[in-house]
Structure 1
Amino acid sequence: MPAMTAGQVQYALPGTWEIVGICIGSYVVYVLISAVYLLFFHPLAKFPGPRWWAVSRIPWAYHVIKGDLWSVLDRLHEKYGSIVRIAPDETTTINPAAWKDIYVTKPVLAKDPYSLTPPLNGAHSLFTAEGDVHRRLRGALVNGFADKALRDQAPIVEGYANQLIARLRREADKSADGRVNIQRLYGYATFDTVTDLSFGESLLNTLESDSENDEIKAFFLHAKFSTIRNCLSRFSPLDIFLGLFLLGVTRKTRERNWRLTTEKINRRLARGDLTGVRSDLLTPLVGKLDETGGVKGTITKAELTTNQLAFVIADCQLTTVALATATYLLLRDPPKWRRLVDEIRSRFSSDAEITVQSTQGVPYLEAVINETMRFRHPTPISLPRCIPPEGRILDGQVIPGNTIIGVNLQNIQTTPTLWVQPQEFHPERFLPSSDPRYEHRFDRDVKAAFMPFSTGPRNCLGSKVYLAQARVFLAKVVWNFDLEMLENQEDWLDQEAYLVFEPKPLLVRLREPGQTTQV
């Protein structure tokens, strides 16, 4: 080997570990620079919030997967104020003005795409559609949820309410002391009702047949997987592998649901226009399917299947959680339970008088339902929207463009800045001020914050159907039974939430009014 001459310099290529060190060091520098930018120079840097949340999505994702994000956001708003930064590009607000500024003011803001579960059959539902597609779908479906349609659908709701009462009696008779899991039976009642309304017949007819099924549990499991999947979609390429895994776990259930839904809808559509015979959510759509997907006020067959299944899942979950929660809160506070009992039993002289129509405007009943929704919203989720590049004004404050902001349905309803004793159950706050049971300390409640079904062109289309079920089911239970909550359920409200709260069994003892307890 020749010797090096003067002026020659020998350069050694870096070894493998040196390359690894350089890469790691470069990445650390990148992370530090990014953190400094996000903390001090990003357009959202002016909004308060935890530092770790500002520089990474990981803290947010951790609590989504843990199922307690709603609770953590409550504490963050209490500490930092009405607008809190909860991610590098996202804020959350409990400002009542946000309802108008974010969800009503035009142009309507687009949903955050990461918060949406992609339609598995390629056809959008009202939950995922945007722009013209959303307007066309809503125009096609809205007549099924109108006041006249609900009046015509009332016999279906009332029929299943009667079946619920009969099934409760049979279940109580099987037990020596009349104990039942009323949460499970609420689930059966809402499932039978909403599938009949959506498909033209009950999917399983669980109440009348005395059968048991795990459909409700499967729906809540699907909500959990969907929430985690949407959360992980922000972490590429992890989202690809975990998304495929989560889809694999639910594949058989989803395939079965699509098959049963399609069969039921085909059978209902084949029966044609049943005006004068029965009315359901499909009645206004008979003869109005259009496979081009471009005609105003029409819907394709695939879109119809997607929307009907989505409504079944949403209504069943929301109504089951709300009824079980209302029952728990009332039984935990006997004077309030007695107040509702007195109202229902003095207003109606027979069970048959309790109908969709007759339960409208029953003050304390409606107050109980509203206060349940306020105290523990069944879906304690944020409604994230994308701010356009030019930004958006929220109550006089500029929200930077290309960021995300939303109102969490639970947080805005339980903040002490807007509500008197927000962590306590007081239906009286929702009574008319002229009602002698109303308490004027609740004059300070900011009722404008209470939008349990959201607002604007994307508000919940099925709210009236939900309220009809909630009123009739709860009123009939109260009229027919004296309820007593069994012991050791103090922690019943300690529930995880994935899109919706995961309900626990609620064990109660049923007695006919005036009957003494036999133990």
Structure 2
Amino acid sequence: MDFFFLSNFVNVSRLAQGALVGAIVYWVLWIVYARVFHPLARFPGPFWASVTRGWTLLHVLPGDAEKTQRRLHAKYGPVVRIAPNELVTSDPAAINTLYGIKSITTKTDFYLAFRPPWARFPDHFSAEGGSQHGERRRIVSNVYTMTSVLQSEKYIDRCMDLWLEKLGEKSDRHESFDLWVWTRMYAYDVIGELYFSKMFGFLKAGDDHLGYINATDDLIPVQFLAGNMPTYVRGPFMLMGILLLPKVRRALKALDNLTSATNVMLKNRIAARQNNSPSKEPERADVLGKLLDISDNRGKELNFVLDDIKMEAFGGFFAGSETTALTLSGILYHILKTPRVHAKLIAEIDAAVKFQQLSSHIAYNEAIKLPYLVACVKEGIRMHPVTGVSFPRHAPPSGCTIGGYFIPGKTRIGVNPSVIHFDKTVFGDDAEQFRPERWIEGDASYMDRHIMQFGMGSRTCLGKNISMCEIYKAIPQLLRSFSLELVSQEEMQTTSYWLHKPVAIDIKVQRR
């Protein structure tokens, strides 16, 4: 018996030793291949980044990848290897090569982590590219034109009025407010008005009473981390997360709640359309109604059905609010952080009021005629881009030249807006400073071609016009009505789990 036990122990021990030796040999061979023979072996970068994607996960995990990547480019140059099969570049010319209207690059599987599992077709954000993406985009593009958005401008005014009322109450009570929280509530309520003809009630409640905003805080980082993993790891990651991590469970529940909320609003609208009561109020021409019109009139021809409408609504509901809010809060933060700019912008707004160039509800078409405001918006977008990580693409099949290197075809490579927006060859030697005058004195069209806030080329965000309308209306309205002041002059803290979000921006408010 003892001999049998000892024999088994020896066999198991040998198997374990064999497995260990096999693992060591595999890793030695892999490291040699990754460092010497891999198609990306000649590109500089951290050692561990070249042999394991684990390095990539660790470098994005703290939520400050934009700082890490700036240091990487300072050390290694314009093209850096950040994973065995992925590069990032700070070469300004790469923007047109990778994202330009005529580029033939495709999106990587990174974006699949953000795609709702019930989508019939790839959504506009995660679609790889090609003819199908263009066809699906053309179905709805007219809904998002600025002309279409401005048809509902008065409903954005409703949200702005409520926000001003709430800030007035805070001023009267001598309370400060978190600009980041309130821009989010404003942006979400605007989406409610524009898509569903009804605010979600965040501004009225003064908090995230529905839990939707907290849901995105739970969901997006998990999706982002999953997107940085190899596809074969994502399933086990989500399964382990469900079993072990409350944040992952909350994130998945958040996705379900957001989907359910979209379903309910769509169901209610269809029921209202089917109600033929003569006393019923006429339907407002909101985004949801325009999408339903497309489905009703040409749904069979275009293969555009209710699930596709839900995808559009979900996209605006889930993504459009966050990107607008972080952009608006970033612009206002930099204006308030720079007293000279703040005073100059106030003077421009006050002069426009004096000469009756601004209505009581400032119109988008009035705001964009204020040159210094336009410069402040452009500079704020430059200083606080929507994401702190790269937009990864597959290089063209035949390869391309970037930063003095030939990039092999199908290589994963991207540009980080939080790096390129500070390039001194494009924006000047003072690119680290918030100076709106550069957009008046310099070549604005050239600089514009290097701003990646809403994507580039054929992948430009469909919701850009909604976002810009909200921003251009909000800034002069707020600054005309209130004296705003940062509570602290310390640098704004941010997190970059895909979206480059402020942590908090405390503001003192006083009526003017």
Common fold: TM-score over 0.5: yes
Match of 1:165 in 2: 164
- Kept in 1, the 8 Å contact 2:88–2:416? The answer is yes
Match of 1:252 in 2: 253
**Residues 138-164 of structure 1: CA deviation (Å, up to 9, x unaligned):** 112211111220221211222211221
| Partner Cα separation in structure 2 for residue 134 and residue 396 of structure 1 | 31
Are residues 1:346 and 2:347 paired? no
- Kept in 2, the 8 Å contact 1:152–1:278? The answer is no
Q: Residue 369 of structure 2 aligns to a residue in which SS? A: coil
Are residues 1:414 and 2:426 paired? no
**Residues 410-466 of structure 1: CA deviation (Å, up to 9, x unaligned):** 1111234443222221111122x3xxxxxx6x8998553223222121111111111
Match of 2:3 in 1: none
Match of 1:47 in 2: 43
Q: Shift in Å at residue 234 of structure 1?
A: 4.6
Q: Which amino acid aligns with 1:159?
A: R
CA RMSD of aligned residues (A): 3.0
| Partner Cα separation in structure 1 for residue 252 and residue 47 of structure 2 | 39
> What pairs with 1:133-282 in structure 2 (closer than 5 Å)?
133-173=132-172, 175=173, 177-202=174-199, 204-208=200-204, 212-213=208-209, 214-234=211-231, 236=233, 238-242=236-240, 244-245=242-243, 248-270=249-271, 278-282=284-288
Question: Which structure dedicates a bigger proportion of its chain to helix?
Answer: 2
Match of 1:305 in 2: 310
Q: Shift in Å at residue 200 of structure 1?
A: 3.0
Match of 2:62 in 1: 66
Q: Shift in Å at residue 42 of structure 1?
A: 1.4
Q: Which amino acid aligns with 2:125?
A: F
Q: Shift in Å at residue 243 of structure 1?
A: 5.4
- Kept in 2, the 8 Å contact 1:115–1:231? The answer is no
Q: Which amino acid aligns with 1:183?
A: W
Q: Which amino acid aligns with 2:127?
A: A
Change in Cα spacing, 1:359 to 1:65, as seen in structure 2 (3 Å) is: same
Match of 2:84 in 1: 88
| Partner Cα separation in structure 1 for residue 299 and residue 26 of structure 2 | 47
Match of 1:387 in 2: 395
Change in Cα spacing, 1:399 to 1:33, as seen in structure 2 (3 Å) is: same
- Kept in 1, the 8 Å contact 2:324–2:467? The answer is yes
| Larger displacement relative to structure 2 (83-92 or 234-243) | 234-243
- Kept in 2, the 8 Å contact 1:68–1:497? The answer is yes
Change in Cα spacing, 1:140 to 1:398, as seen in structure 2 (3 Å) is: same
Match of 2:477 in 1: 476
Q: Shift in Å at residue 304 of structure 1?
A: 1.6
Q: Shift in Å at residue 112 of structure 1?
A: 0.7
- Kept in 2, the 8 Å contact 1:291–1:300? The answer is no
**Residues 92-135 of structure 1: CA deviation (Å, up to 9, x unaligned):** 11222222221236563221113322322243321123444422
Q: Which amino acid aligns with 2:263?
A: T
Are residues 1:323 and 2:328 paired? yes
Match of 2:497 in 1: 498
| Partner Cα separation in structure 2 for residue 126 and residue 497 of structure 1 | 22
Match of 2:468 in 1: 467
**Residues 347-382 of structure 1: CA deviation (Å, up to 9, x unaligned):** 124661511221123211121121111112132231
Match of 1:377 in 2: 385
Are residues 1:120 and 2:117 paired? yes
TM-score by structure 1 length? Answer: 0.85
Structure 2 alignment gaps of length 5 or more: 1-7, 275-279
| Partner Cα separation in structure 1 for residue 284 and residue 16 of structure 2 | 71
Change in Cα spacing, 1:373 to 1:275, as seen in structure 2 (3 Å) is: farther
**Residues 178-219 of structure 1: CA deviation (Å, up to 9, x unaligned):** 4222322222111100122122322x2232455653432322
Count of equivalent residues: 488
Change in Cα spacing, 1:354 to 1:287, as seen in structure 2 (3 Å) is: closer
TM-score by structure 2 length? Answer: 0.87
Structure 1 alignment gaps of length 5 or more: 1-11, 434-439, 514-519
Q: Which amino acid aligns with 2:437?
A: E
Q: Which amino acid aligns with 1:224?
A: P
**Residues 6-59 of structure 1: CA deviation (Å, up to 9, x unaligned):** xxxxxx997322332222122212212211221122111222212221111111
Match of 1:287 in 2: 293
| Partner Cα separation in structure 2 for residue 141 and residue 282 of structure 1 | 11
Q: Residue 91 of structure 1 aligns to a residue in which SS? A: strand
Q: Percent identity?
A: 24
Match of 1:9 in 2: none
- Kept in 1, the 8 Å contact 2:195–2:313? The answer is yes
Match of 2:4 in 1: none
Q: Residue 44 of structure 1 aligns to a residue in which SS? A: coil
